[in-house]
């Protein structure tokens, strides 16, 4: 509603009331009964019209205070009936209506006050909405700075302020509770998140009705967060949300698919594999038909469906589903790729295709070797399944015992075997690594010392993973100190141009740089992809690593050879405000353009990173000033 219309309604209500009131007071000495009758008639009509208009206007979906105000304005029309009665009496007694100017003046003054109060309240609410949006953005930045308690306090303070300004039963208060709940989900505080979503759900159901899409979204958030909810109750709630989503968004909307996925998960917890299969198959078919879905959702649901097929002893259906996902494999994160390979191994084993299953196990070992590291729970089973292939170049069955001892860190057994086979110290296995490299991979310090005592070299670089690089990649600090002292130079470049700092940047552990204390340590080495350690840190969102590299003198404007992007481009693309702010304050060029001709702000707009866009724009204004 516009300000002019609001002011008009306020004046109308106030003036009509005072016309009637002053007229009655003016005429009461002439005919008290008639004056009182006019007042009673106007009052009865006023309250009657107000009660009739209120439910009718409430169906329009307007805000509560506006509905009451419009009903009040409609009811004030009844004052004119009383005014006509009073005016008729005034004419009968030959009294001039001299109360009209006074009524207009008093009504105008009194009518302006609620309008001014309403506008002040609207401005206060708008300010609070802006403050809450800023608090959400600031909490994300604090999380990036590894300050979760400060981020939580910021959102709690914003929620309390919203309840003070809007009241406890308001849509904005519900949204503030949802934002705090999402923070709790991100920080794995699921019970607190469930409490916030439940609180927001009650408010939204009361104000919006149960058929609103926003209510169903909050209901799904609550069910997903509340681990104490009985699975059968959770299924009932999810089906209720599904009905709303299908009615409002259509049967093939991606949110409907994600709701079916959750139903499938819950049915699996209830040990109802048939029901779980139906729900997951429905989710999978919706995601395949939806044009706006990401293949990440499709890939995840497809893997769950393949596991259900295995549980139902239908390996052919599982294999068919996995085959349909293979084209998306290269675009998935390493963890999802490993999950896919494990599902393939199991499925192919059920189909008695042992050779194909072993090939998938070998692919999984190489993925662990270069991407995920040794801490994955499936590593031991994969390792044991690949021993035959790993030890083929040794041409000796006893080599398996060496690799078993290497996995377990059994340095005594290793020494005993190497006394008989000293040539195995530098022997490469089928993966291209030797025993020293595998010992660095597992972080076995005594094993590394044993191999070095047998003459293994830390300086010979024959592939992309020298021992020092492996220790840096998997953050084995004591090994880094040991190998850095043994190496002729810490600036070990592989044939592909990788430097130990590239490996430190990959895992984001800034404390590893403290172990690389050489004065001549390069901070801006460039690998075959044109990446410096700072570029990698910004691309992966490792704040402390990026700050440490900048403090060591890394060039904040050195661009990548393939993309032409600067570190600020990379931070803007992934939406990391804290890194972007650090780079800008240390001289990063805001107007630099990549090979596509985009500035960091333009790249952030493409990636829908509004927080970074606003940060860059505000800092750019400060620089111009």
Mean pLDDT value across residues 279-288 = 91
pLDDT at 438 exceeding the cut of 90 = yes
For residue 179 the two structure tokens come to 């934002």
Neighbours of 102 (CB within 10 A): 13
Nearest by Cα to 558 from 512, 527, 513, 581: 527
Nearest by Cα to 321 from 336, 309, 335: 309
Mean pLDDT value across residues 114-134 = 77
Tell me if residue 372 falls in helix, strand or coil: helix
For residue 34 the two structure tokens come to 């008639």
Per-residue pLDDT of 348-370, as tens digits, reads 999 999 899 999 999 999 999 98
Mean pLDDT value across residues 170-181 = 90
**Where do the structural domains in the chain lie, given as residue ranges?**
3-121, 156-351, 523-625
* Residue written as token pair 């604090």: 142
Nearest by Cα to 493 from 481, 485, 482, 501: 501
* Residue written as token pair 């494999």: 329
Q: What is the pLDDT of residue 311?
A: 92
pLDDT at 61 exceeding the cut of 60 = no
More confident of the two residues 232 and 292: 232
Q: What is the pLDDT of residue 625?
A: 42
Q: Which fold has domain 523-625?
A: 1.25.40
Q: What is the pLDDT of residue 130?
A: 85
Neighbours of 192 (CB within 10 A): 16
Task: Give 115-122 contacts, CB < 8 A, sequence gap 24+.
Answer: 115/6, 115/7, 115/10, 115/11, 118/6, 118/10, 118/65, 119/3, 119/6
Nearest by Cα to 201 from 230, 241, 229, 233: 241
Mean pLDDT value across residues 223-227 = 85
Tell me if residue 488 falls in helix, strand or coil: coil
Q: Taking the C-alpha atoms of 296, 473, 545 and 565 in order, what is their torsion angle to the nearest 10 degrees?
A: -60
Task: Read off the pLDDT band of 113 (50, 70, 90).
Answer: low
Q: What is the pLDDT of residue 210?
A: 80
pLDDT at 44 exceeding the cut of 90 = no
Mean pLDDT value across residues 240-259 = 86
DSSP state of 575: T
Nearest by Cα to 155 from 113, 125, 185, 126: 185
Q: What is the pLDDT of residue 141?
A: 78
Tell me if residue 459 falls in helix, strand or coil: coil
Tell me if residue 188 falls in helix, strand or coil: coil
Task: Read off the pLDDT band of 63 (50, 70, 90).
Answer: low
Mean pLDDT value across residues 182-204 = 90
- Does residue 524 contact residue 559 with C-beta atoms inside 8 Å? no
Q: What is the pLDDT of residue 98?
A: 66
For residue 497 the two structure tokens come to 């141009």
Tell me if residue 57 falls in helix, strand or coil: helix
pLDDT at 624 exceeding the cut of 60 = no
pLDDT at 534 exceeding the cut of 90 = yes
pLDDT at 290 exceeding the cut of 80 = no
Nearest by Cα to 315 from 358, 359, 357: 357
For residue 128 the two structure tokens come to 């609070």
pLDDT at 65 exceeding the cut of 70 = no
The secondary element (H helix, E strand) that includes residue 518 is none
For residue 473 the two structure tokens come to 């990649």
Q: 496: which residues sit within 8 A by CB, 6+ positions away? A: 464, 527, 528
Instruction: State the Cα angle at 102 between 99 and 107, rounded to 5°.
Output: 120
Task: Read off the pLDDT band of 79 (50, 70, 90).
Answer: low
Per-residue pLDDT of 552-611, as tens digits, reads 889 999 998 778 899 999 999 888 888 998 999 999 998 899 888 889 888 888 877 877
For residue 73 the two structure tokens come to 């304005």
Q: What is the pLDDT of residue 217?
A: 87
Q: What is the pLDDT of residue 442?
A: 92
Cα→Cα distances 223→68, 190, 209, 387, Å: 35, 11, 18, 44
CA dist 49 and 496 (Å) reads 83
Nearest by Cα to 571 from 272, 519, 517, 557: 557
Mean pLDDT, the chain, whole residue set: 83
Q: Which of 19-33, 114-128, 133-147, 432-446 has the lowest mean pLDDT?
A: 19-33
pTM score, whole prediction = 0.74
pLDDT at 225 exceeding the cut of 50 = yes
Q: What is the pLDDT of residue 240?
A: 87
- Does residue 371 contact residue 407 with C-beta atoms inside 8 Å? no
Topology match between the domains 156-351 and 523-625 = yes
For domain 156-351, give the CATH superfamily: Tetratricopeptide repeat domain (1.25.40.10)
- Does residue 450 contact residue 416 with C-beta atoms inside 8 Å? no
Cα→Cα distances 331→138, 286, 321, 328, 476, Å: 31, 20, 17, 6, 29
Q: 334: which residues sit within 8 A by CB, 6+ positions away? A: 367, 371, 372
Q: What are phi and psi of 490, to 5 degrees?
A: -75, -15
Per-residue pLDDT of 499-512, as tens digits, reads 989 998 998 887 77
pLDDT at 212 exceeding the cut of 90 = no
Cα→Cα distances 371→334, 383, 448, 468, 513, Å: 7, 15, 22, 16, 21
Q: What is the pLDDT of residue 118?
A: 66
- Does residue 448 contact residue 479 with C-beta atoms inside 8 Å? yes
pLDDT at 293 exceeding the cut of 60 = no
Per-residue pLDDT of 408-422, as tens digits, reads 888 888 888 888 888
Per-residue pLDDT of 312-345, as tens digits, reads 999 999 999 999 999 889 888 899 999 999 999 9
Tell me if residue 219 falls in helix, strand or coil: helix
Neighbours of 121 (CB within 10 A): 13
Q: 564: which residues sit within 8 A by CB, 6+ positions away? A: 593, 594, 595, 596
């Amino acid at each position: 509603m516009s300000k002019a219309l609001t002011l008009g309604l306020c004046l109308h209500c106030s003036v009509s009331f005072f016309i009637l009131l002053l007229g009655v007071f003016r005429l009461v000495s002439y005919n008290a009964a008639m004056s009182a009758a006019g007042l009673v008639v106007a009052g009865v009509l006023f309250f009657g019209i107000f009660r009739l208009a209120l439910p009718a206007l409430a169906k329009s979906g307007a805000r509560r205070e506006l509905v009451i105000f419009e009903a009040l304005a409609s009811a004030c029309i009844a004052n004119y009936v009383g005014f006509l009665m009073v005016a008729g009496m005034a004419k009968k007694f030959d009294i001039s209506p001299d109360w009209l100017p006074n009524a207009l003046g008093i009504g105008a003054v009194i009518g302006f006050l609620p309008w001014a109060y309403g506008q002040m309240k609207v401005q206060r609410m708008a300010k609070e909405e802006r403050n809450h949006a800023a608090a959400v953005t600031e909490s994300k930045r604090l999380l990036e700075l590894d300050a979760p308690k400060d981020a939580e306090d910021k959102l709690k303070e914003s929620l309390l302020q919203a309840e003070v300004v809007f009241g406890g039963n308001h849509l904005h208060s519900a949204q503030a509770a949802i934002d705090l709940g999402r923070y709790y989900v991100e920080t794995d505080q699921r019970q607190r998140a469930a409490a916030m979503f439940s609180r927001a759900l009650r408010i939204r159901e009361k104000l919006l009705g149960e058929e609103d899409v926003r209510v169903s979204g909050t209901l799904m958030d609550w069910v997903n967060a509340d681990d104490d909810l009985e699975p059968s109750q959770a299924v009932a709630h999810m089906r209720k949300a599904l009905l709303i989503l299908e009615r409002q968004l259509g049967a093939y909307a991606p949110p409907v698919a994600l709701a079916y996925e959750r139903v499938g998960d819950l049915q699996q917890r209830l040990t109802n594999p048939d029901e779980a299969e139906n729900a997951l198959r429905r989710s999978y078919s919706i995601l395949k038909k939806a044009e706006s879905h990401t293949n990440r959702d499709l890939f995840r649901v497809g893997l769950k469906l393949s596991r259900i097929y295995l549980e139902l002893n239908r390996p052919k259906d599982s294999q068919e589903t996995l085959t349909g996902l293979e084209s998306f494999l290269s675009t998935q994160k390493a963890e999802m790729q490993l999950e896919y390979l494990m599902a393939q191994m199991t499925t192919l084993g059920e189909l008695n295709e042992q050779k194909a299953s072993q090939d998938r196990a070998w692919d999984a070992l190489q993925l662990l070797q270069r991407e995920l590291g040794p801490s994955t729970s499936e590593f031991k089973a994969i390792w044991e399944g690949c021993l035959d292939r790993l030890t083929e170049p040794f041409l000796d069955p006893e080599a398996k015992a060496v690799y078993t001892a290497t996995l377990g860190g059994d340095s005594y057994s290793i020494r005993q075997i190497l006394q008989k086979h000293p040539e195995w110290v530098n022997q490469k296995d089928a993966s291209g690594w030797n025993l020293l490299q595998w010992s660095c991979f597992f972080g076995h310090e005594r094993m590394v010392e044993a191999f070095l005592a047998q003459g293994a070299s830390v300086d010979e670089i024959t592939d992309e993973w020298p021992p020092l690089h492996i220790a840096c990649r998997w953050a084995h600090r004591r090994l880094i100190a040991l190998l850095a002292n043994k190496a002729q130079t810490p600036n070990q470049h592989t044939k592909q141009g990788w430097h130990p700092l590239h490996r430190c940047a990959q895992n984001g552990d800034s404390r590893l740089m403290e172990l690389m204390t050489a004065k001549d340590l390069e901070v801006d080495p460039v690998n075959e992809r044109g990446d410096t350690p700072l570029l990698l840190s910004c691309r992966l969102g490792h704040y402390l690593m990026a700050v440490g590299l900048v403090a060591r003198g890394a060039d904040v404007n050195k661009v990548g050879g393939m993309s032409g992007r600067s570190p600020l481009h990379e931070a803007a693309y992934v939406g990391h405000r804290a890194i972007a702010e650090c780079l800008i304050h240390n001289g990063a060029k805001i107007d630099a353009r990549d090979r596509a001709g985009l500035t960091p702000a333009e790249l952030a707009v493409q990636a829908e990173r509004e927080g970074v866009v606003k940060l860059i724009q505000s800092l750019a204004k400060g620089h111009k000033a």
